[in-house]
Amino acid sequence: MGTFAVTGTASGMGAATRDVLVKAGHTVIGVDLRDADVIADLGTAQGRASAVAEVLERSGGTLDGAAAIAGVGPDMPDSAAVMSINYFGPVAVLDGLRPALARSGAGRAVVIASNSATTVPMIDDALVGHALAGDEDAARARAEEAAREVPAELAELAPPSIVAYASSKFALARWVRRTAVVPEWARQGVLLNAIAPGAVLTPLMTGSTGADADFDPDRFPTPMPLGIFGEPEDIAFWVHQFLKPEARFTTGAVLFVDGGTDAAMRPDAQPTAWQL
């Protein structure tokens, strides 16, 4: 059985992932702001460093897998914090844990992105650029600026940090694609993939949209081809698949687990032909 680090285990997808792994007989080191083995604020550099150090201590320096699931929704008023938590948090934690994952000989890492990266037309290129450049101060400043630039007619309808949320998830998916194939990850046998959930009934989604178990999927703002909302267990299932040793030939993937929303909105977006 393996040892896995999972962030965001206090609720939602993180809690569901922890439960799936524990039921499979694995040891899980949970990280969250509360009700976890490791208590840390992943929105700060100090909190990330502390989380990495404690996970390494608890694991003995070797991990079979890590799932970066902790995150906040677009309803959070502080756009700068959204950027720090949703992008810089998972990147720093996985970067810090990469040597421990390599030490296992078959390390697996999974990141939770979002279909908001492709279905919300409010991606801020400058914000994404600052994130991918690793400039957290610039990203935080731009996130606050971008929030103020949202037209008034849209600001009345959208959550306050929708630009930072969608852009952070877009940047995170790009980071996974770029990082998974570099030698420090790929040639060390550490596989890195992302899952892009859609409308999943978690505290994050209900807080951002007001949807609950009785909400009609056909009245949701984006298409719901299956006519149902997802549950945290639907995401945990795929996290578990990516974390298995048998998942040996998949890296740099972004898997949409959204009930068909992205396919309905952008049916021809994938595949994209390579141009010479």
User: Which is catalytic among the residues 4, 87, 165, 170?
Assistant: 165
Strand 38-39 and strand 254-257: the pairing is unpaired
Positive or negative, the CA dihedral 61, 101, 200, 164 is positive
Torsion, CA 11, CA 25, CA 255, CA 44, rounded to 10: 50
The vertex-77 CA angle with 79 and 228, nearest 5°, equals 95
Neighbours of 250 (CB within 10 A): 14
Buried b (16+ CB within 10 A) or exposed e, 209-248: bebeeeeebeebebbbeeeebbebebbbebbbbbbeeebe
Q: For residue 251, what are its two tokens?
A: 């890296």
Q: For residue 80, what are its two tokens?
A: 């700068």
* Residue 87 is among the residues annotated as catalytic for this protein: no
Q: Which residues belong to the active site?
A: 165
